[in-house]
Amino acid sequence: MLTFAEEILLLVLDEGQGDLGSLPPDSLNLALAGAVLMDLALQKRIETDLERLMLVDPTPLGDDILDPTLAEIAGESQWRDTRYWLDRTAGRGDRIRRDASARLIERGILRSEAHGLLSLAPSVSRSRRYPTADGQQIEEARLRIMRVLFSDDIPDPRDIAMIALAGACGVFRTILSAEERAQVQDRIDLLTKLDLIGRTMSQAIEGREEPAAAAAAPGPANEIPVAPGLPLLGNGLAMSRGLSAFLVRQYRDLGPVFRIRAPGRRFVCLAGPEAANFLASHGKRVFRSLEPMANFHNAMDASRSIVTMDGVDHVTTRRAQARGYAARVVEERGVEVVEITRDEIAKWPVGKRFEVLPRIRHVIAEQMGYVMAGYSPGGYTNDLSTLLGGLLISASVFPRVMKLPRMRRARARAEELAGAVLEHKRKVGPRRAGPDFIDLMLDLREADPQLLPETNLNLTVLAPYLVGLDTTASTCAFMLENVLKRPELMESMTAEADALFEQGLTPGEGLRRLDVSRRVAMETLRLHPVSPAVRRTTANSFEFAGYRIPAGTLVMVGTSVGHALEEYFPEPERFDIERYTDVRAEHRQRGAYAPFGTGNHRCLGAGLVPVQLGLTMATILRELALEPLRPDHALRVRSFPTMRPVGFNIRVLGRRTHAAAATNGAGNSSS
């Protein structure tokens, strides 16, 4: 039998979007809290009414979702009412959701896609029935609940309790239309009265005191505070010197909503964890991405790209692309990725200082070419880097930049590469060891030529080559700088790398042994996020932090502002990988850590990049002895059009020697 928490997740699952629907996070956490208390009551561990929640039996159930709340109740020295325990348990809502999702995945009910997307397993989606631990099958939650609501069938007591809880938490507002809710509201009210536990939870939830508003009552849009700036330039110069730092300063001075100005542009900025949470919860309802990024694809004569799509087309395209960007893609081809990295870093000079970012770009471009297309970018890497910079500048501030001769040459060279990749795929066909990104995109084009027309094919083919050049490569360079300044970290990561290769490089399980490398990557991404802010246009008016944002407003959402707030990350300027241990887990605070952005346009590489970074850094430290940097080494950083180190030089002291590396079961060099 599934727990109530598991069934709540299945009830709110939006299979079209691949997430937990549009139920606000606070409401979902409250529903999960009520589900935990209902399960404890059914297990005869507690009894509840509006005045009291009473402990009946403190014996643990051996359930990691229910036992933490049971232990808290047993450890409380005074009685508390049900509302208190609802609020207390809702504070663990994120953890309950993760644990319940993990169980459902383990049982084969849910399937985890890339980047947190969820879907019903094919067998469940077709049969609408769940396998249970005892080998029995039960009818799928939404189908069961809908039949109860839209018929006169006599419901199971568990379903009555579920309906009461779902009704109190607003679940039906997200899964039923207004007309459907009006049709079944009397039925919901009647069923809620039939079940003691469900009625108690419903009344307790409805009787909760709402948290005090975080800001003043909504006011007109023109009352939004304005960030101070320069005549004519506005805030453009300050943002170009460091967008993240600029947004943090304004957030501290003005709050989570303020106006900013750049030459020719005006934005309303939403910033901080509040903004990250809002984007994750409501982004697909109130924002669209077309206008802010239209020049990105216009400059390539494409009609659109995934960064400008919304709605069903975005979900369909993202699902197809997510398979190509999944972490397992690097894990399964890890041996080849290592060999590519070795070949590239073998070209690094010994004893002579050199700028590291251009060299790492070649490493990443070769890796992505092999993993995503089975085709090396060869001598095109510099052209791709130039093109990417031009496209980002075109999308941000200067649409005509792509008319410059240098950009036109870079575009022509990149299109030449795209044509070569497509010709290669026509000759060799899909990858035998499983489809890569280009295979998946060609399948998508064949299935729906309107979704991926020929005019958009060049940009789609080039995407995997482009995405890592200023993001993954820059992060890898930032990681190197942080490690070379800290000998203890370099020693730990080198030891991890040696152990990985000496014990055998195996897909998945082996790479997960790179714990220090993982935490170094996470802290690097906190200080140098891939996506410090995103731009959107408001498709529908909304209220945020006491202000009304009208439809049609150009918006910037500062999703990474929380990275620099000491209330979330103590001493935020300090590089500290202990933040990511299970004990501290600072990154798990809601809305605090979003290096890849958040919401339905969250960076597709969020799962792949950390694995790629870990494997690349492990190979570099395995193969090369690098000169440490002075602890006070000052790194110059450029923030526009992307965040990257400038003039960062390193020196290879020598090449390390060791026994031949053991490699097992990873990858397949055939296309």
Mean pLDDT within 205-231: 60
- Cα angle vertex 608, ends 603, 612, to 5°? 125
More confident call, 424 vs 297: 424
Q: In this structure, what is the dihedral angle of CA atoms 239, 308, 371, 421, given to the nearest 10 degrees?
A: -110
Average pLDDT, the chain: 86
Q: In this structure, what is the dihedral angle of CA atoms 538, 542, 548, 549, given to the nearest 10 degrees?
A: -10
Find out whether 272 and 560 touch, Cβ atoms under 8 Å.
no
Full 3-state SS string of 302-325: CCCCHHHCCHHHHHHHHHHHHHHC
| Residue 651's pLDDT band (cuts 50, 70, 90) | very high
Q: What is the pLDDT of residues 344-381, one digit of tens each?
A: 999 999 999 999 999 999 999 999 999 999 999 989 99
Find out whether 396 and 388 touch, Cβ atoms under 8 Å.
no
Mean pLDDT within 565-584: 94
Q: What is the pLDDT of residue 487?
A: 94
Nearest to 262 by CA among 239, 295, 296: 239
Find out whether 53 and 85 touch, Cβ atoms under 8 Å.
yes
- C-alpha 465/C-alpha 640 separation (Å) is 20
DSSP state of 45: S
Find out whether 270 and 542 touch, Cβ atoms under 8 Å.
no
Tokens of 135: 């080998």
| Omega within 30 of 0 (cis) for the link into 641 | yes
Residues in the chain: 671
Please give the CATH topology (third level) of the domain spanning 216-301+531-599: Cytochrome p450 (1.10.630)
Q: In this structure, what is the dihedral angle of CA atoms 234, 238, 241, 244, given to the nearest 10 degrees?
A: -110
DSSP state of 581: S
Please state, for a pLDDT cut of 90, what percent of the chain lies above it.
Answer: 46
Q: What is the pLDDT of residue 221?
A: 46
- C-alpha 671/C-alpha 582 separation (Å) is 40
Q: What are the extents of the domains in the chain?
A: 4-206, 216-301+531-599, 312-528+603-649
Q: What is the pLDDT of residue 401?
A: 87
Q: What is the pLDDT of residues 457-467, one digit of tens each?
A: 999 999 999 98
Q: What is the pLDDT of residues 371-403, one digit of tens each?
A: 999 999 989 999 999 999 899 888 877 778 898
Q: Is the pLDDT of residue 668 over 50?
A: no
Q: What is the pLDDT of residues 435-449, one digit of tens each?
A: 999 999 999 999 999
Q: What is the pLDDT of residues 94-110, one digit of tens each?
A: 899 989 988 888 888 88
- C-alpha 302/C-alpha 459 separation (Å) is 7
- C-alpha 291/C-alpha 287 separation (Å) is 11
Q: CATH number of the domain at 312-528+603-649, please? A: 1.10.630.10
More confident call, 125 vs 259: 259
Find where tokens 């009520």 sit: 34
- C-alpha 323/C-alpha 319 separation (Å) is 7
Establish whether domains 4-206 and 216-301+531-599 are of one fold: no
Q: What is the pLDDT of residues 111-135, one digit of tens each?
A: 776 555 677 877 777 777 777 655 5
- C-alpha 559/C-alpha 465 separation (Å) is 25
Nearest to 8 by CA among 207, 206, 198: 198
Name the pTM for this structure. Answer: 0.69
**Which element (helix H / strand E) includes 103?**
helix 93-106
Domain spanning 4-206, CATH class: mainly alpha
39: left (phi over 0), alpha (psi -120 to 50) or beta: alpha
Q: Which amino acid is at 364?
A: I
| Across 64-73, 260-269, 476-485, least confident range | 260-269
Q: Is the pLDDT of residue 209 over 60?
A: no
Residue 458's CB: how many other CB atoms inside 10 A?
21
- Cα angle vertex 326, ends 320, 331, to 5°? 145
Q: What is the pLDDT of residue 22?
A: 63
